[in-house]
Structure 1
Amino acid sequence: MSDRALRLQAFRQAIAGIACTDAGDVLDAKSSDYHWYSPLLKEQLAGKRGELLVRPANEAEVIRVAAACAKQRLPLTVRGGGTGNYGQCVPLEGGVILDITGLDRVLEVQPGSVLCEAGILILALERAVRAHPAMPGGQELLMYPSTRDIATIGGFIAGGYGGAGTVRNGILKDPGNVSLIRVVTLEETPRVIELHGADIQKVHHAYGTNGIITQLRLALKPAVEWVHHIALFPGYADALRFGCEATEAVGTSLDAFLLTAVDRRFSPFYRSEFGDRFPADADAVFSMVHPARLGRWRELLGRHGGRESMALTEPQLRDQGLSPAFECGWNHTTLMALRSDPTWTNLQTVHAWTPGRGIDIDLVERQMARYGDEVLMHHEFGRNAGGCVSFGLPLVSYFDRERLYEIIREHEADGCLVFDNHVVTIEDGGMKTIDDAQIAFKRIADPHGLMNPGKTRGWLPSSAVP
């Protein structure tokens, strides 16, 4: 028996009584995520999988798993719902897959906050805080990804950035949105560390490389029965002008939870579900609007030459078999395109914002003329550090790596910041630089360098304690 097999056997003995399996079909499923959005990651990560899946039921079992991994020097990759797009939960070096979905309890709800376990589905968490009597009328989460119904909250915090709610409440990193993260260290004698305030950035968006997140405290606001809205425009520039003005007005004269612009060439991907609500001869804005501000929303829409084609609450959408607006934005647009044609991929960019003007719409029009049907335009509107921002998530018709990176370089030359979603490391994607605080915390929480190895360039093999 090989040394690795012996260590896996010893690991299984140490965690006796905790659910685990080495069934090939389970490992195939649980070692993957939505990285196949990128043809480059699909090729790079092909065949990568763990050797054993473990599903602890509580933090005490997580501690036992962590201790056994550290003792046997086995790599460990934490997995939630597996909805990430960048291979965050694909194990590059095999080892143990820790399925965190068994930790799925809501621990405490107060006015303005919820304490929960990391493995709870975001949909279940949202339903729980809306129904809880801590505040009359219920409360709601400040933001969630377009995969709300199948993603876990821990995975969103470990790998996410923003999503539906960002136009109203900023990004996850903004102060107060997440106030506590509890982590278990990967040591022979694991510790439980609670991070508060700014210290949560040590593990937020770290791809699970420096601590096993078990609990989180998140901010809440009073619940709103949002109106899921589609607005149609004669041109994409009109849709963007509306989006820019609406974004700056959110929090004053307007209120919205989502604001997504997609050009008319997205229409075929929505056609079977929305029909004439998104026809091929109009550009669209999908939004979630506060019902008390819907009248003002419609006034602004009219000033920009738009017309309303849908205004329904989520229960009404369900009754009609329609998707919520947040599943028509963010990275769900890529998913919808891939269902029609597997050669699509996407980019993630940030456009400069000028207060009172928004983004450079002339630049977007030049980009549309430059690329034609090779690139389909999609912009998300939001807030970041108190200011307004627009994230570009254009679809790209994939030809080869060289052409993809040529398009990336052209966007950068246009002044757009590009978060490369075709790489597996944190630094080469959105962060752009090594986060020294995260690496310093990894030395504390994962001294042997066993957590999700290969996902951060800031950690060198020589950094590990033997």
Structure 2
Amino acid sequence: MQYRPGDPVDWPAVRAALAGLDLDDSPAGRQRAAADYHWYSPVLAERLAGRAPDLVVRPRTQAEVLEVAAACARHRVPLTVRGGGTGNYGQCVPLCGGITLDITALRRVLRIEPGWASVEAGVLLHDLNLAARASGQQLCMWPSTERIATLGGFIAGGHSGIGSIRHGILADPGNVRRLRVATLEDPPRVLDLAGADIQKVHHAYGSNGIVLEVDVALTGFVEWQHTIALFDHYDGVLRFGLAAAADPAIDLFQLSAVERRIMPYYAGLRGRLEDRDAMFAQVSPATLPAYAALVQAHGGRLVVQGTEAELLAAGLPSATECAYNHTTLEALKSDRGVTYLQVAYPGPLDADLVARQMQRFGDEVLFHHEFSRAGGERVAFALPLVQYFDEAQLRQLIADFEADGCRIFDPHTWVLEDGGMKQVDTVQLAFKKQADPQGLMNPGKVRAWDEQVLGIAGGQLP
């Protein structure tokens, strides 16, 4: 029998089933457990306000996770899993109350071998990187929130990040090698997923299984040089980026174009750089001379270079802090009237199209672009800052970008399919029916379940 929003829960029985575990029903604890970065979106901030779990459980072992899973299945309790809470779409916000399972205590690094690491899902990406570096390795990619994000959360809600220009996106073969997942049944099953089966759980918002362990790919450690190159025009930055990304003589870990109107939002750069458009990059020391020569050949100037530690010691932000949604965060620190969109451009990126968009949108939209790889192909996408007025404005901007042939990954919805896929992932839905037969995991986030299983409109708040 499937769970429906508003079904009653026998909380005394649930508490009895979870006796001995770390439980928290304090108002502060419940609110902390419902907090993630969905406040980047004024639409989500308004519509998800006040949502919180009834109870927070902090398991200390995988065995305790299984106890929680069994109790939720037995007593029909909605369950939301959270890690570091760095997601942007309200993945950690329970729409129907219930239990939030905080997995951040499951942070053991189980094994590091050449080319891969086996870890518990609650490990911080930064801590895993430190452990990998002790073996002469590093992660292939990480989000700009590396210091506070968990690997399990990155798998459940992430797509790509710093390093994707070199290693592709998370979904590309080999980047994630195994997931160990607990089902929401009584008793729960523990499943090991490998190969294509990983996609049954990857980027599913924690809606179809509790990730316990991850085998993730590692690569050889490089002391990347963080650089800033300045250009007279933004289309020059983009044309340089296309050339640098295609140059086999240059080893890149990050390539992030930022137009000059965004530069004042970076606190560490205010007053320190000229009024120019910029390329932030991470380049291997061995290929830095080739990179610098290409900058000069495209009319730019390399004005900052150094290791991450050297830049931070000089009071400058690292290249990581000027990329992806960290730029959105930097803007929001001083301007809460800003929000953002996520725009994938048809390949290869057309710098003239971007120039036309900049002319059309004016000061309403400020651009920065990420160069990346996906499916073996070079790609580029933008996370433009938007001077926000209302939701109708966002929908019009989305329509305008789509009319230009761009694809929008909408960051202003909590519904999985509405954000990026725009269609039902039949593989994930089939796996949810097996792993979460009552529909207890993160209810309200999967439109296909609500429509095809429950017969109600998906994504509706109860």
TM range (shorter): over 0.9
2-side partners of 1:278 and 1:72: how far apart? Answer: 59
> 2:375 aligned with 1:385, yes or no?
yes
Report matched runs for 1:187-206 at 5 Å: 187-206=185-204
2-side partners of 1:169 and 1:305: how far apart? Answer: 28
**1:309 shift after superposition:** 1.8
> 2:386 aligned with 1:396, yes or no?
yes
Number of the residue aligned with 1:135: none
> 2:237 aligned with 1:236, yes or no?
no
**1:392 shift after superposition:** 1.1
SS class of match (2:302): strand
Number of the residue aligned with 1:256: 252
SS class of match (1:331): helix
**1:274 shift after superposition:** 2.2
- TM-superposition CA deviations, 1:12-35 (whole Å, max 9, x none): 211112111001011111102100
> 2:321 aligned with 1:327, yes or no?
yes
**1:317 shift after superposition:** 2.6
Candidates 65, 68, 86, aligned match of 2:68: 65
TM normalised by structure 2 equals 0.95
> 2:71 aligned with 1:75, yes or no?
no
Candidates 110, 115, 120, aligned match of 2:113: 110
TM normalised by structure 1 equals 0.94
2-side partners of 1:276 and 1:258: how far apart? Answer: 24
**1:4 shift after superposition:** 7.8
> 2:169 aligned with 1:171, yes or no?
yes
Candidates 374, 388, 391, aligned match of 2:364: 374
Instruction: Structure 2 unaligned segments of length 5 or more: list them.
Output: 1-5, 455-462
SS class of match (1:175): coil
Number of the residue aligned with 2:281: 287
Seen in structure 2, the aligned counterparts of structure 1 residues 265 and 462 have a Cα distance that, compared at 3 Å, is closer
Confirm or deny: 8 A CA contact 1:449 1:461 kept in the other structure.
no
SS class of match (1:460): helix
CA RMSD, Structure 1 to Structure 2 (Å): 1.4
Q: Which amino acid aligns with 1:188?
A: D
Report matched runs for 1:415-426 at 5 Å: 415-426=405-416
Report matched runs for 1:398-413 at 5 Å: 398-413=388-403
2-side partners of 1:118 and 1:324: how far apart? Answer: 27
SS class of match (2:219): strand
1-side partners of 2:346 and 2:389: how far apart? Answer: 28
Number of the residue aligned with 1:226: 224
Q: Which amino acid aligns with 1:331?
A: N
Confirm or deny: 8 A CA contact 1:277 1:309 kept in the other structure.
no
Q: Which moved more, 1:297-306 or 1:13-22?
A: 13-22
2-side partners of 1:180 and 1:194: how far apart? Answer: 7
> 2:421 aligned with 1:427, yes or no?
no
Number of the residue aligned with 2:265: 269
Number of the residue aligned with 1:438: 428
Q: Which amino acid aligns with 1:320?
A: A
Number of the residue aligned with 1:41: 44
Confirm or deny: 8 A CA contact 2:9 2:75 kept in the other structure.
no
- Kindly, what percent of the aligned residue pairs are identical? 54
Instruction: Structure 1 unaligned segments of length 5 or more: list them.
Output: 133-137
2-side partners of 1:94 and 1:201: how far apart? Answer: 27
Seen in structure 2, the aligned counterparts of structure 1 residues 275 and 309 have a Cα distance that, compared at 3 Å, is farther
Candidates 17, 21, 30, aligned match of 1:18: 21
Q: Which moved more, 1:9-18 or 1:189-198?
A: 9-18
**1:320 shift after superposition:** 2.8
Confirm or deny: 8 A CA contact 1:278 1:284 kept in the other structure.
no
> 2:184 aligned with 1:181, yes or no?
no
> 2:309 aligned with 1:315, yes or no?
yes
SS class of match (1:176): coil
Q: Which runs of 4+ in 1 moved over 4 A?
A: 3-6
2-side partners of 1:463 and 1:430: how far apart? Answer: 21
SS class of match (1:389): strand
2-side partners of 1:460 and 1:274: how far apart? Answer: 47
2-side partners of 1:409 and 1:384: how far apart? Answer: 24
Confirm or deny: 8 A CA contact 2:179 2:211 kept in the other structure.
yes
Q: Which moved more, 1:158-167 or 1:17-26?
A: 17-26
2-side partners of 1:34 and 1:267: how far apart? Answer: 22
Confirm or deny: 8 A CA contact 2:66 2:182 kept in the other structure.
yes
Number of the residue aligned with 2:3: none
- TM-superposition CA deviations, 1:130-166 (whole Å, max 9, x none): 113xxxxx10101000100000000000000001001
Q: Which amino acid aligns with 1:95?
A: G
Q: Which amino acid aligns with 1:268?
A: P
Q: Which moved more, 1:313-322 or 1:4-13?
A: 4-13
SS class of match (2:107): coil
Seen in structure 2, the aligned counterparts of structure 1 residues 348 and 461 have a Cα distance that, compared at 3 Å, is closer
